[in-house]
Structure 1
Amino acid sequence: MNAGVLRLLWDGEYICPVRYPLEYEILSEATEQEEVGAWLLHANLRLARLGEEGAFFMAPDVIGAADITRIKGELAKFRDTYGPAVLLLDFIRQSDVGARLLVPGEYIVLYELERAVSQSSVLETQLKSLIGVISNAAQRNSNHENLRRLLEHLMRDGYVVMANKDTGAYQVTGKIDQLYAVLQFLDENKVVPDQEVDDLDEGAQHEMPIHTDPKEDGA
């Protein structure tokens, strides 16, 4: 059983082939999955995955009252928990760089994104409207600088990694699938993010991919 894999899972990371290629390869082995799963079970946790080939993450083995409360809190605070990533990724998607749905492994090149913004007043206006969302962005900055900080914001949140510093290329990680799953869950269960979530039944909770922080649960 690999200690590095356990450490990442315990820290709440999503282990995908883009962000953690070595650990993902290790965890793709059936034997490793069994050993890790058995180890997590002692802490009432389990090894979960986003789809058959998606990222691995740690989740509660049985969803209890504390998990339900946390899920409701996250959904009620949708704008703070997931809102920034949704806005920033949607901005990229609307540009010429990411016209299609962003998927794990796809590349986003800073200079191409900058060129798309320079050629579209609509995109430039949208970028300015996101200044308050992007970490360390400012109206006085150039488009290039604010776009760089936009990508760095997504990188800190784990949605992209730096693929090539020289070319300004970033690569989308498997964590984006978790975001899409949350959005799908909200849509299917008719949950309004701005309102308090009171109608989550236990079955729906099991369909939503969540991970847990054992430090918060006292494990």
Structure 2
Amino acid sequence: MNIYGRSFHTLWGGNVICPVMYPDLHDYIVEEGGMEELTAALDPLGMKVSVTTGGGSFFVAWKDGTEEARKAISGSARQTQEDIARVQAFVTFLLEINDANGVLSREALVRAAEISTAIDSSAALRDSLSTVAMTLAVKNTATDHSRISGILSKMRDMGYLKLLSKEREEYIVTGRIDLFYDMMEHFASHIGAVEMAVQREEQGSLF
């Protein structure tokens, strides 16, 4: 499959293309005319290639103002709300361990050993670890290490981390974190609308 096809299917599958996760696809979009080609392919489908506020991370979204977009957003309100809560718990926990930059940003390194060292000297952090493991529905929580490994694996599966070293359990944060921050901002400014959409979904309303 050529780079256009790989880019299209990567985006269509709900992934975020960034320099960390897909450096070649990112270069194609930014430097090799990929944005124009992908936009032309997605436009008839009512979709578009969007870029996160900070720039550099690309994803597929519905075209603005369409009825399909409204229905899709309303229909996914509950899932969006739950996803935000899960990722927020993880981000907050990492910042409790190391908040040198004040924010968890793309390309930040996440090391299991650093987390383990931090919780060994703090009962509060160990409690936070347990809370995050529960929030992410980590199955194996018998030990601190299993909780840490489970949390990092979950975040990798969700696309927020890329594994750098399996042996050392070292990860790098991907551009999906940029999309998360955009979602957080949108959620904060439209919280009433999101909550109403969730309530309608719980009541089984049709859109």
TM bucket normalised to smaller = 0.7 to 0.9
Partner of 2:203: none
Cα distance in structure 1, aligned partners of 2:62 and 2:79: 21
The CA deviation at 1:107 is 0.5
By how many angstroms is 1:63 displaced? 3.5
CA distance in 2, matches of 1:173, 1:150: 16
CA distance in 2, matches of 1:107, 1:156: 17
Query: SS state of the match for residue 100, structure 1?
Result: coil
- The residue aligned with 1:213 is none
Query: Residue 19 of structure 2 contacts residue 26 of structure 2 at CA under 8 Å; is this kept in 1?
Result: yes
Q: What's the TM-score, normalizing by structure 1?
A: 0.79
* Cα distance change on mapping 1:132 and 1:52 into 2, 3 Å: closer
Q: Is residue 2:146 matched to residue 1:160?
A: no
Report SS of the residue matched to 2:117: helix
Q: Deviations over 1:169-207 (max 9, x none)?
A: 1111111111111111222345386x3249xxxxxxxxx
For 1:190 and 1:148, locate their aligned partners in 2 and report how far apart those are by CA, in whole Å.
33
Whether the 8 Å contact between 2:160 and 2:176 is mirrored in structure 1 is: yes
CA distance in 2, matches of 1:99, 1:125: 23
In the alignment, does 2:196 pair up with 1:196? yes
**Kindly tell me: are residues 98 and 8 of structure 1, through their superposed partners in 2, closer, same or farther at Cα, counting changes over 3 Å?**
farther
CA contact under 8 A between 1:44 and 1:62: conserved in structure 2?
no
Contact 2:54 2:178 in 1 (8 A): no
What is the distance in 2 between the residues matched to 1:67 and 1:142? Answer: 44
Matched, 1:3 2:5: yes
Aligned length: 196
TM-score, normalised relative to structure 2: 0.84
Q: Could you tell me how far 1:120 is from its partner in structure 2?
A: 0.7
Q: Which residue of 2 aligns with 1:100?
A: 102
Q: Specify the code of the residue in structure 2 equivalent to 1:163.
A: L
* Residues in 2 aligned to 1:33 and 1:95: alpha-carbon distance in whole angstroms: 38
1:98 to 1:132, Cα distance in 2 relative to 1, 3 A: farther
For 1:184, the equivalent position in structure 2 comes to 185
In the alignment, structure 2 segments of 5+ residues that lack a partner are 199-207
| CA distance in structure 2 between the aligned counterparts of 1:75 and 1:196, rounded to whole angstroms | 9
> Which residue of the other structure, out of 82, 85, 88, is the alignment partner of 2:87?
85
Percent of residue pairs identical: 20
2:162, 2:171 within 8 Å by CA — same for their partners in 1? yes
Q: Deviations over 1:150-169 (max 9, x none)?
A: 01111111111102223221
Determine the structure 2 residue equivalent to 1:17: 19
Task: Say if 1:92 and 1:98, in contact at 8 Å, map to a contact too.
Answer: no
Residue in 2 that maps onto 1:110: 112
Give the deviation of 1:53 after TM superposition: 2.9
Q: CA RMSD in A?
A: 2.3
Match of 2:31 among 29, 32, 35: 29
Deviation at 1:76, TM superposition (A): 4.3
The question of whether the paired residues in 2 share the 8 Å contact of 1:17 and 1:174 is answered with: yes
Deviation, 1:65, is 2.5
The structure with the largest helix share of the pair is 2
Q: Is the 8 A contact 1:97 1:113 kept in 2?
A: no
Work out the CA distance in 1 between the residues paired with 2:32 and 2:53: 16
Q: Which residue in the other structure is 1:130 paired with?
A: 132
CA distance in structure 1 between the partners assigned to 2:193 and 2:4 by the alignment: 41
2:68 to 66, 69, 73: 66
Q: Could you list the runs of 4 or more consecutive aligned residues of structure 1 that deviate by over 6 angstroms after TM superposition?
A: none
Give distance in 2, aligned partners of 1:107 and 1:30.
Answer: 29
